[in-house]
Amino acid sequence: MCANLTKQSNFDAIIIGGGACGLMCAVQAGFLGKRTLMLERNDRVGAKILISGGGRCNYTNLHTTAQQFISANPHFSKSALSQWTVDDTINFFETYGITGQEKTLGQLFPTTNKAKDIVEVFTNLCADLDQTIWLETEVKAVEQAQGGFVITYERYGKTQQITSPNVVMASGGLPVQKLGASDFGLRIARQFGLNVVKTVPALVPLTITGKDQSWYEQLSGNSIFCRVWNERISFEENILFTHWGLSGPAILQISSYWQAGEVFYMDMLPQQNITDLITAERATNPKKLLLNLLAGLYTRKFAEALSSMLPVQKNLASLSKADLELMEQLIHEFKVKPAGDKGYDKAEVMRGGVDTDELSSKTLEAKKVPGLYFGGECVDVTGWLGGYNFQWAWASGFVIAQQF
């Protein structure tokens, strides 16, 4: 370490990572008259915000409670989520010209449908509030020094150092490397002796291989409304068949509760009962082919694909009790055994991260390292699909900004 190269900064905090958490932290610190320096390795801030929600950014969820977050400590997120609520998110963005519209299941998007409007709120505020952002600046190391920390970073090919009394680790999680994702937050946590809960891809498509693969493959592009469940959780949303397996919102949701080797189930007619439907239809239309009944409920392609499992060429009148029992099982309790998931490059978030036992839930400061804070996705708090992850990122950024 070359002390003579180290710049003594007069920033109140250095924020590592210019994503959702870091940006909210910088702006909120600015409102309180504090000065921050944000170090971001990309050539722009908010890379994930820009592509989120298909470029429209699902920036919060009206139904947010701690129950929509997965963590080894399910109570941990409560404090931050109550210090910065969904109403705070809505009011904050409204103040800067963004009104929200609910698409489905409480998911709020800007009425303009433009994620870049969300990022602009932060870049404009950072400029107005004199918060400094250094882009194309990759942080390489964080070490404790007298009165704070020394941060080593690489900028324009040069390695330099800067000091700060406080460091905010807002460097995100492992998904989507090309958007700047890194394990930096996890590495720094370990270096300071903090435990890290095992990380795995979450909100991620699932793959099917082996003898079942061709069955899924033939349905590529077909989407069905399902209840997808296992012994831990249940979600009612669409699933999407792909040439390598399953995707769509219900699959992404269950993936966060799925572990390698496990099965889960799909009810492909969650709001009706197939036996009741057949019984009713049989009374007026006994000659109708099962194939045609199924094609009316789903796509014809899907009905045809079921022919390998069900007697779809029989008419309704000739279906036996055993046929009906088979239908019940296949339609309402379709068993899926994924081979794996599509990995961090296709995941929306990671599960696991810095162990919440190591952090104060009220301040997000590391209990063992005063002045070191962790927020956003690098913490072991993982939201469901639907705007919950941004709500956590905003809330944790806000909370940290109140501390230094």
Binding mask 82-121 for ligand FAD (x = CB under 6 A): ----------------------------------------
- Residue 311 DSSP one-character state: -
- The reply on whether position 21 binds ligand FAD by CB under 6 A is yes
The whole-angstrom separation of Cα 200 and Cα 113 is: 30
- The reply on whether position 351 binds ligand FAD by CB under 6 A is no
Characterize 323-358 residue by residue with b for buried, 16 or more Cβ atoms within 10 angstroms of its Cβ, and e for exposed: beeebeebbbebebebeebbebebbbbbbbbbbbeb
Q: In sequence order, what are the beta bridge partners of 39?
A: 16, 134
Within 10 A of 167 (CB to CB), how many other CB atoms are there?
25
Pick from 80, 170, 305, 319: which binds ligand FAD (CB under 6 A)?
170
Pick from 110, 180, 201, 371: which binds ligand FAD (CB under 6 A)?
180
Rounded to 5 degrees, what angle do the CA atoms 126, 129, 131 make? 55
Interface segment toward ligand FAD; rule CB under 6 A; list 46-54, 325-333, 334-342, 353-361: 46-54
Q: How far is CA 80 from the centre of its chain?
A: 18
Of 311 and 376, CB closest to ligand FAD? 376
- The reply on whether position 138 binds ligand FAD by CB under 6 A is yes
> Nearest approach, Cβ of 218 to ligand FAD (angstroms)?
27
Pick from 13, 26, 139, 369: which binds ligand FAD (CB under 6 A)?
139
- The reply on whether position 48 binds ligand FAD by CB under 6 A is yes
- The reply on whether position 20 binds ligand FAD by CB under 6 A is yes
Q: Which of 377, 355, 354 is nearest to 173 (CA)?
A: 377
Of 44 and 314, CB closest to ligand FAD? 44
The whole-angstrom separation of Cα 361 and Cα 120 is: 30
Total residues at the site for ligand FAD (CB under 6 A)?
37
- The reply on whether position 22 binds ligand FAD by CB under 6 A is yes
Pick from 12, 50, 51, 105: which binds ligand FAD (CB under 6 A)?
51
Tokens of 255: 């993936």
* Segment 182 to 241, residues that bind ligand FAD, using CB under 6 A: 182, 184
Of 91 and 320, CB closest to ligand FAD? 91
Of 77 and 269, CB closest to ligand FAD? 77
- Per-state percent for the chain, helix, strand, coil, to nearest 5: 35, 25, 40
- The reply on whether position 58 binds ligand FAD by CB under 6 A is yes
- 208-216 long-range contacts, Cβ below 8 Å, gap at least 24? 208/244, 208/245, 208/246, 208/336, 208/337, 208/338, 208/339, 209/339, 209/340, 210/339, 212/337, 213/244, 213/245, 215/305, 215/308, 216/241, 216/242, 216/243, 216/244, 216/245, 216/246
Interface segment toward ligand FAD; rule CB under 6 A; list 64-72, 144-152, 157-165, 382-390: 382-390
Amino acid at 104: T
> With 0-12 CB in 10 A as exposed, 13-18 as middle and 19+ as buried, what is 314?
middle
Interface segment toward ligand FAD; rule CB under 6 A; list 3-11, 81-89, 165-173, 363-371: 165-173
Tokens of 22: 């870091």
Amino acid at 317: A
- The reply on whether position 358 binds ligand FAD by CB under 6 A is no
Of 207 and 389, CB closest to ligand FAD? 389
- The reply on whether position 352 binds ligand FAD by CB under 6 A is no
Which residues of the chain form contacts with ligand FAD (CB under 6 A)? 16-22, 39-42, 47-48, 51-53, 57-58, 138-139, 170-172, 175-176, 180, 182, 184, 348-349, 376-377, 387-390, 393
